[in-house]
Structure 1
Amino acid sequence: MTEIPTAAGKLYLATVIDLYSRRLLGAATGLHPNAELACAAIRMAVAARGGADRIAGVIFHTDRGSTYTAGAFTALCRRLDIRQSMGRVGSCFDNAAAEAFFSSLEWEVLSRNDFDTISRARAAVIDWCYGFYNHRRRHSAAAGLSPINYENAALTRDAA
């Protein structure tokens, strides 16, 4: 989860990223960095992958923050058969994919814009996430392809 500064206050972004393709599956925004926001991102990711039956048993890795240890979040994960994984206390290296995503967002969007309203910040961030990041941004971890193209290439390769 990260915060997006605006002249009208902070907007928070919770994400769910597929480590295989680096595809952003869920990107929820809200005014509070709480379990409800994290749950919204998980629900988006589940929908993006075709429903709870399709994601049963996946592993979701986070830090040990109170957002991800909250009762509402852990209960949702149990209900969806999502296995929670958390790194060691104080370790910043185990969530590198999420940190890299937020670093790209900071460099490519936030450092180049001053948002006067929360709605403008939300629109710019979501457009970058789903429009650019998933469809056009190339990733070294995805053979130099965008996440969507990498997944499509894998589907084609598997079908052959």
Structure 2
Amino acid sequence: MAGEKARSARKAPDDALAHEITVLHLASKAAHGVPRIHAGLRRLGHRVNRKRIERVMRERGISGVTRRRRKGLTRPAKKAVPAPDLIGRDFTASTPGMKLVGDITYIPTGEGWLHLATWLDLATREIVGYSMAGHHRAGLVVDALKMAAGRGQLKPDALSLSR
């Protein structure tokens, strides 16, 4: 019985607090959660416990936007050996098709991540091969390399894996 009295006595002040929270929440374009709503109420001169704000927001279904942490794509093996520097940090080439460097990146789209693998000719600074897919497996890079080789301008030792 005492619990019901306490809840009913708290209802009117909670409704007033919920109105203030809703105003701040809408002003933030429904982005702010408990910590920022609490800070906003403190700036307005309200002395309110953070846990009370959390309870009122939870009871009324008001929540902020949480940003997800980005996860890295690569997971190195425990005993991985770094890849050798095959071009010796020399990013110049005298003739086209002599040296290629590659990269893989991912781009957010409305349908998910788009992975892009590219090969750059160091002499011309032009993309000579690329491939796009919804994954970042080795086949993506191989397809881009096949495109670069299919242009017919690569020197025979441009694709060697060791020097």
Q: Under TM normalisation by the shorter chain, which class is it?
A: 0.3 to 0.5
More helix by share: 1
For the pair shown, which has the larger CA radius of gyration, 1 or 2?
Answer: 2
TM-score (norm 1): 0.35
TM-score (norm 2): 0.34
